[in-house]
Amino acid sequence: MTRFLHFIDSLSAWMGKAFAWCIVILTFSTCYEVFVRYVLNSPTVWAFDMSVQMYGALFMMSGAYALSQDAHVRGDVFYRLLSKRKQATIDLILYIIFLAPAAAALIYYGYGFAADSWFYKEVSWSSPSRIQIYFFKTLIPIAGFLLLLQGIAEAIRCVICIQTGDWPKRLHDVEETETMLMKEQENLQNMENSK
In a domain, 38, yes or no: yes
Percentage of the chain lying above the pLDDT 90 cut:
41
Q: Is residue 66 part of a domain?
A: yes
**What CA–CA distance (Å, rounded) separates 55 from 58?**
5
What pTM did the predictor assign? 0.80
Domain hosting 138: range is 2-173
Report the C-alpha gap between 193 and 123 in whole angstroms. Answer: 64
Residue 184 included in any domain: no
- Could you tell me which of 157, 152, 188 has the C-alpha nearest to residue 171? 157
Residue 182 lies in a domain: no
Residue 139: inside a domain:
yes
Instruction: Provide the b/e sequence for 80-93 (b: ≥16 CB within 10 Å).
Output: eeeeeeebbbebbe
User: What percent of the chain is modeled with pLDDT above 70?
Assistant: 97
What count of other Cβ atoms lies within 10 Å of the Cβ of residue 103?
24
Residue 188 counted as domain residue: no
On whether residue 187 sits in a domain, the answer given is no
Tally of CB atoms within 10 A around 134: 17
Q: Is 183 part of any domain?
A: no
- 160-193 confidence digits (pLDDT tens): 999 999 988 887 766 667 777 888 888 888 888 8
Q: What is the mean pLDDT of the chain?
A: 88
Which carries the bigger pLDDT value, residue 111 or residue 194? 111
**Overall number of domains in the chain:** 1
